[in-house]
Amino acid sequence: MSPLASYRRLFSLAGPLYVLVAFVGRLPLAMSQMGTLLLVAGTTGSYGLGGGAAGALAVANAAGAPVAGAVADRIGQRPVVLVQSLAGGAALLVLVALATSGVAPAAVIAAAAVAGAAMPQIGPLARVRWRPMTRAQGEHQPRLMETAFSYEGAADEASFVMGPALIGVLVVLVSPALAVSVAAVLLLAFGTAFALHPTAALAHAHRPTAVAAGRLLTPVFAVLLGAQLLIGVVFGSIQTGTTVLTTAAGQPGLAGLVHASLGVGSVLAGLAVAGLPARFGFPSRVLVTAAGLAVLSTPLLVTDSVPRLFAVVLVLGFVVAPYMISVFVLGERAVPAPRVGTAMTLLAAVTGLGYALGSAVAGRLADLHGHQGAFSVTVSAGVLALVLAAASQPLLRRGSAAESSAEVAAPATT
């Protein structure tokens, strides 16, 4: 089956409404962090408070996501995502009200943390639904699952390009308060629609009742968590270094566009992953793309102009989505079926923690050494990702081979 045919089959199984809902439903999370920063900084006059509120939202979301994923594995996605969407949307509206009313900064930061903890991780949960949706496709299911994860990786990257861009447009045209309010309305509408879509029940219907069966934190899954932590460090440090360089060049407004170019390359590469031959296995893909992260990030150390930065970041983006797609596919295969939701949200959560870590360390080094100091964190994370991928190849290959054997032995129950 060709990549184009795989995408057509996949989208016909899900239906256009599901594809729309699952994509737009993940935009509020992508919008909320930057929106919160601009909202709080604008109303208080302090970027420190804005950053604190945005950081509280991000950390709370990273901490709460695996918990919500575990509950969804037990009782189904529908009630969990429905409650989260309603609570998260309401919490964002409360955040807007508090930030614009001049209350104590601690109350605003607490509201941001509540909003972050309540917001659903729709991207990871959408990945869980594809296996039951493709269950009846027989010998085509493995290829359709690869295509599904390729699409989800590209959709995540696209959301993190479009979300901040939408926030930027609304802030320029109206205000940060309206921008965050729009994120809240989108979450209330599309998060609820994602929760109520029939695929939510389908995802839970074929799960074994013994959710505790099998371990989640296996050696393979621990490696994958480390891999996602490192790509989060790459994201955070690139954003910091980009902001420092563009500000020094007198063009701070270009920082968002430069960072978005990382997502553009990543989206294109993510969609193309579905065309890779099956013999190029996912452990090998992790290794090759990790090598790409290490090699293609190195020019950042000698980049000193905005046009060159655009080019380097765009090219680097072409290995980001394939790396993450491979990690998520291996993660979905490495854990017991009843715990896939927990696994997907946990991988997303450590990515967010890596982002926070990368931003913090890069910021410290940027104070001392400028943008080269920040980008040294990016390169170091790429090198560590390569070392981890190379050292864990035997482990990842054994785990992948065991999963393939299980699928062959019992294709109807995977």
**What was the pLDDT predicted at 412?**
39
Domains and their CATH numbers in the chain: 1-207 (1.20.1250.20), 213-414 (1.20.1250.20)
- What burial class does residue 412 get, using C-beta atoms within 10 Å of its C-beta: 0-12 exposed, 13-18 middle, 19+ buried? exposed
Closest to 400 measured CA to CA, from 294, 230, 317, 282: 282
Quick one: angle between helices 306-334 and 141-173, nearest 10?
140
State the CB neighbour count (10 A cutoff) for residue 159. 23
* Residues with Cβ within 8 Å of residue 58, at least 6 apart in sequence: 33, 116, 352, 355, 356
Find the angle CA(379)-CA(254)-CA(267) to the nearest 5 degrees. Answer: 60
Torsion, Cα 377 299 161 3, to 10 degrees, reads: -110
CB 130 within 8 A of CB 274: no
Find the angle CA(327)-CA(329)-CA(334) to the nearest 5 degrees. Answer: 90
* Residues with Cβ within 8 Å of residue 7, at least 6 apart in sequence: 147, 151, 274
Closest to 195 measured CA to CA, from 384, 402, 22, 7: 22
| Euclidean distance between CA atoms 374 and 363, whole angstroms | 6
| Euclidean distance between CA atoms 4 and 139, whole angstroms | 17
| Euclidean distance between CA atoms 218 and 213, whole angstroms | 13
User: What is the pTM assigned to this prediction?
Assistant: 0.81
The one-digit pLDDT tens for each residue of the chain (414 residues) are 677 888 899 899 999 999 999 999 999 998 888 788 888 888 888 767 887 888 889 889 988 988 998 899 889 999 999 999 999 999 999 999 999 998 888 999 999 999 999 999 998 899 889 988 988 887 888 889 888 988 988 888 888 888 877 887 888 788 889 999 999 999 999 999 999 999 988 876 655 544 445 677 889 999 999 999 999 999 888 888 887 898 888 886 677 778 778 888 888 888 888 888 888 999 999 999 999 999 999 999 999 999 999 999 999 999 999 999 999 989 988 888 888 888 898 998 898 888 888 888 888 898 889 899 999 999 999 999 999 999 999 999 886 665 554 444 444 333
**What was the pLDDT predicted at 207?**
55
Chain-centre distance for alpha carbon 323: 12
Residue 364 Cα distances to 233, 243, 338, 359, 360, angstroms: 14, 13, 41, 9, 6
Altogether, the residues listed in the chain come to a count of 414
- For residue 175, the 8-state DSSP code is -
State the CB neighbour count (10 A cutoff) for residue 105. 17
**What was the pLDDT predicted at 204?**
67
**What was the pLDDT predicted at 233?**
92
| Euclidean distance between CA atoms 179 and 167, whole angstroms | 6
Torsion, Cα 211 217 223 224, to 10 degrees, reads: 30
**What was the pLDDT predicted at 333?**
86
CB 61 within 8 A of CB 120: no
CB 300 within 8 A of CB 365: no
Quick one: angle between helices 141-173 and 3-14, nearest 10?
70
| Euclidean distance between CA atoms 255 and 382, whole angstroms | 21
Positive or negative CA dihedral for 191, 196, 150, 400? Answer: positive
CB 91 within 8 A of CB 186: no
Closest to 375 measured CA to CA, from 387, 386, 361, 362: 362
